[in-house]
Copies of this chain bind each other. A is one copy, B any other.
């Protein structure tokens, strides 16, 4: 009976166990989301809604801990290396990655195309591992990069495991950005793709994220049957017709997913 209803967070009840200082400090780290470069103290204060004083003290603390650094020209702060230590611990300990890693390598050798593993997080898929990358813009290859669940083969495959009500919630809550001219933005078109995915057991996406790219995704369920993440295999339309790519990839991909089992 412990599982009451962890309040939807938004209107948070007075929580006597919540550490405000820690939350504020974390919000300083998060204030770099979407920033275009170093942030000054005033900018951090503005982005977090904190007092200049509070921001100052938290920045000071994070600096002593190594997580923030003053840029070399002294004109602002940036996230610093210890962040990557957390990254490594997260990736290293992630149960899905641990289970999937040997099979990802095997899959990569079989299909000889790019193999990615991304983690399901509602409206977005978060890249956790990219075994190879050829053509892409560099920053798209970075760990932690996200793409809308509605715009990738892996996302479709993950969404296909959810009940329709949840899919609708995601489709309506999110604005659907057109990453390419061919990206599907019509909710019904996306629902249709999810239906196809349910029928076929895998998703096929053509030029949804990047022009010239075809990708096939399959979801990895967790023990409860909900999507934990997905594996994509991506190829070039210059080398593959979509159907040929499907025939090339699906058998190995399906076997990999089967081997991984439930995460």
Q: Mark A176-207, 1 if CB is under 8 A from B, else 0.
A: 00000000000000000000000000000000
Q: How far is the CA of A22 from the CA of B90 in the complex (A)?
A: 20
CB contact list, A54-69 vs B, under 8 A: 56-58, 60-62, 64-65, 67
Q: Which residues from chain B contact A131 at a C-beta distance below 8 Å?
A: 133, 141
Taking the closest CB of chain B, its distance from the CB of A199, in whole angstroms, is 29
Determine whether A48 belongs to the interface, using a CB cutoff of 8 Å to chain B. Answer: no
Q: Do the beta carbons of B25 and A87 come within 8 Å of each other? A: no
A87–B84 CB distance below 8 A: yes
- Bitwise, A1-40 to B at CB < 8 A (1) or not (0) is 0000000010000010111111111100110110101100
Identical subunits present: 2
| Contact status A87-B143, CB under 8 Å | yes
Q: Report yes or no: B57 in contact with A79, Cβ–Cβ below 8 A.
A: no
CB closest chain-B residue, reference A28: B22
Check A126/B60 contact, CB under 8 A, given A19-B21, A143-B91: no
Q: Which residue in B101, B119, B132 is a CB contact (below 8 Å) of A139?
A: B101
Residues of B within 8 A of A119 (CB): 81, 84
Cβ-defined contact, B138 with A18, below 8 A:
no
A170 within 8 A of B: no
| CB–CB B79/A86 < 8 A | yes
Q: Which residue of chain B lies nearest to A131 when distances are taken between CB atoms in the complex?
A: B133
Closest to A138 in B: B101
Contact status of A91 and B144, CB under 8 A, knowing A26-B25, A61-B18: yes
Judge whether A132 and B132 touch: CB under 8 Å.
yes
Q: Which residue of B lies closest to A127 (CB)?
A: B84
**In the complex, are the beta carbons of A17 and B138 less than 8 A apart?**
no
Interface residues of A in 63-86 (CB under 8 A from B): 64-65, 67, 71-72, 78-86
Give bound CA distance, A105 to B25, whole Å.
36
Instruction: List chain B residues, Cβ under 8 A from A85.
Output: 30, 33, 126, 144
A17, B57: Cβ atoms closer than 8 Å? yes
Q: Whose C-beta in chain B lies nearest to the C-beta of A85?
A: B144
Closest residue of chain B to A36, judged by CB?
Answer: B93
Contact B60 A17 (CB under 8 A): yes
Do A61 and B138 form a contact, CB below 8 Å, given A33-B89, A88-B145? no
Other A-B pairs beyond A32-B93, A85-B144, 12, CB < 8 Å: A17-B60, A19-B61, A22-B61, A23-B65, A26-B65, A33-B89, A38-B93, A78-B93, A78-B94, A87-B142, A88-B144, A102-B138
